[in-house]
Structure 1
Amino acid sequence: MEQAMFPQNENNTPFDNEALFDAEGHLTDEGLHALQEGRLDELGSLEAAEHLTFCDYCLARYTALIELAPEKLKQPMRDLIPQVQA
């Protein structure tokens, strides 16, 4: 079975990049959640990451969203330094 081209949400539908930004040019709440959950496609992820580099308002909102995440989601996946050094 072929994997979907775009990350899917719980309703099994791709996240619409048109819903990533609001009329004022800020990331929407839904877009921030999709970014945190890894549901954006490559273009959406790049656009959101670029936006967060210069928009203090959205960066503060995203940081607050991450701080509300369960502790296990805040931990790095695993340390790759030993593998890289080998």
Structure 2
Amino acid sequence: MNKLKLSAIPDDKPVKITLELPAPVFRDLQAYAAILAKANGGTASPEPGKLIVPMIQRFMASDRAFSKTRRQENAPVQG
């Protein structure tokens, strides 16, 4: 079989998950949304749930140990 130039196409369809947050964490998300709205000129506060994805992305992007381990695990095998 010929080797194709494309490998598997990643499934980048959003995945819906349901989670329960402790009440204090949800209140903090609400407060964060309100502060963010004020910082952006007093526009309407974003839905607290909309903050979760960018927060997780920022957290993972800033975690050096995670980034280093991920690079090592995805490194091509020398052979």
**TM-score with structure 2 length normalisation?**
0.25
Greater RCO (CA < 8 Å, at least 6 residues apart): 1
**TM-score with structure 1 length normalisation?**
0.24
